[in-house]
Amino acid sequence: MPSSVMPTSSRSGGSPSPAAVSAVGLRKSYGDKTVLDGIDLVVPAGSVFALLGPNGAGKTTAVKILSTLIAADGGQAQVAGHDLAAEPQAVRAAIGVTGQFSAVDGLITGEENMLLMADLHHLSRTEGRRTAAELLERFDLTDAAKKPASTYSGGMKRRLDIAMTLVGDPRIIFLDEPTTGLDPRARHNMWGIIRELVSGGVTVFLTTQYLEEADELADRIAVLNGGKIVAEGSADELKRLIPGGHVRIRFTDPAAYQSAAVALREVTRDDESLSLQIPSDGSQRELRSILDWLDSAGVEADELTVHTPDLDDVFFALTGPTAGPSAGPTTVPNQSKETVR
Ligand SMILES: Nc1ncnc2c1ncn2[C@@H]1O[C@H](COP(=O)(O)OP(=O)(O)OP(=O)(O)O)[C@@H](O)[C@H]1O
């Protein structure tokens, strides 16, 4: 069984939003190679959904199916309330897709690329010029607008690509690996752009190999491996699926350390650093009970550190060579982040 966590409401809060994308049992094979082996997805409107997986996991295939570029062999999906198979035109009208391979034509200028898109969307000449100018401004490309796109940096090309996708004012955007190949600054810029899109009400379905990116942006993350969704949830929920979380309590007073070591159960002692380690999922309930124990023993700690596995741990555990739905998280590397509270 895949590890899964029940959906919670999207970042915008409030009651659960209607699904922008929902899929049940999507299947796709190339020859005898099964790429998608029956995947289910639900993406609430106005949220960011990340499909995370190693190279060749089938992320692009899923995006291509959901954006009507290729047909699934089986299963059903609805995008923007329209059935993928029955109303592909209506789906296309509601979505924008920025693929791994840029739609930007390097031989013409950024502005000409935008105007070409406006033509494709049948905007009038005036409307096309207005939209192009607005989007070029929004994506910080006004100064470069009259230069051939081949002279743009990777980050500028990617911004132009997304600006072109927005010409049709899509409510749902598919971004296939939006920051692959970008330097850290351009990547952070792109994250800012994605957040802005979402705050404007757009639903973002992105694929990524970067755990940090999924952690930064996504309300919900699905991990794709071996043709199946092997885990799904928020970044925090996924991290809790992996064992290894603990709370570390450090003391400077040896007497307080001794009292706490006696008062608390299941502790691992480190006499040298005067710290105690207690297995914990880092939840508020567990932290409170640890603090209550310390209080009732009348000892005060100097530092409390919550150690939760990071998404790297989740990724390795779920997508490693020995991983899989049945392998369980036994191969978790011990390289997690710590949060001092
Ligand atoms: N048209 C095709 N014909 C045959 N095999 C294909 C075709 N398209 C994709 N595949 C195979 O399907 C598998 C999944 O490919 P896909 O591009 O969806 O993966 P991905 O998760 O997006 O990978 P990456 O992160 O490398 O882009 C790969 O093994 C790929 O070789």
The CATH number assigned to the domain holding 251 equals 3.30.70
Strand partners, 222: 51, 232
Nearest Cα to 53, choosing from 177, 205, 182? Answer: 177
Which residue range forms the structural domain that includes residue 282? 246-308
Classify residue 147: in a domain, yes or no.
no
In this structure, which residue's CA is closest to atom 8 in ligand 1? 61
* 55 belongs to a structural domain: yes
The answer as to whether 184 is a domain residue is yes
Cα–Cα nearest to 176, from 190, 186, 195? 190
182 & 236 share domain: yes
Task: Identify the DSSP state of 60.
Answer: H
Does residue 30 sit in the same domain as residue 92?
A: yes
Residue 320 in any domain: the answer is no
Residue of the CA atom closest to atom 17 of ligand 1: 60
Residue 12 has pLDDT above 60, yes or no: no
How far, in Å, from the CA of 210 to the mean position of ligand 1? 18
What is the Cα–Cα distance from 97 to 172, expressed in whole angstroms? Answer: 9
Q: Does residue 214 share a domain with residue 262? A: no
| pLDDT score of 334 more than 60 | no
Query: Do 34 and 96 reside in the same domain of the chain?
Result: yes
Q: Tell me the CATH number at 19.
A: 3.40.50.300
Q: Is the dihedral of CA 329, 330, 333, 339 positive or negative?
A: positive
Residue nearest to atom 25 of ligand 1 (CA): 55
Contacts of 65 (CB under 8 A, 6+ apart): 26, 28, 36, 71, 72, 77, 84
Check residues 322 and 64 and name the one with the higher pLDDT.
Answer: 64
- Asked which of 240, 262, 297 is the last residue of a domain, the reply is 240
Per-residue pLDDT, 17:
55
User: How would residue 24 be classed by pLDDT, with cut points 50, 70 and 90?
Assistant: very high
What confidence score (pLDDT) does residue 322 get? Answer: 53
Of 4-18, 116-130, 240-254, 284-298, which range is least confident?
4-18
Last residue of some domain: 240, 263, 297? 240
Which residues, 6+ apart, have CB-to-CB distance to 34 below 8 Å? 27, 28, 227
ipTM: 0.95
And the tokens for 40?
């289910």
With 50 as the cut, is the pLDDT of residue 339 above it? no
Residue 332 lies in a domain: no
> How many distinct structural domains can be found in the chain?
2
In a domain, 124, yes or no: no
For residue 121, how many other CB atoms are within 10 A of its CB?
A: 14
Residue 69 has pLDDT above 70, yes or no: yes
Residue 233 shares a structural domain with residue 259: no
Residue 3 pLDDT level (bands cut at 50, 70, 90): very low
State the residue for tokens 């993350």.
Answer: 221
Tell whether 95 and 224 lie within a shared domain. Answer: yes
Q: What percent of the chain has pLDDT over 70?
A: 87
Which tokens sit at 170? 């899509």
Task: Kindly report, residue by residue over 93-133, the tens digit of the pLDDT.
Answer: 999 998 776 778 989 999 999 999 999 989 999 999 999 99
| Residue at 80 is within a domain | yes
What is the pairing mode between strands 172-176 and 203-208?
A: parallel
More confident site: 74 or 262 = 74
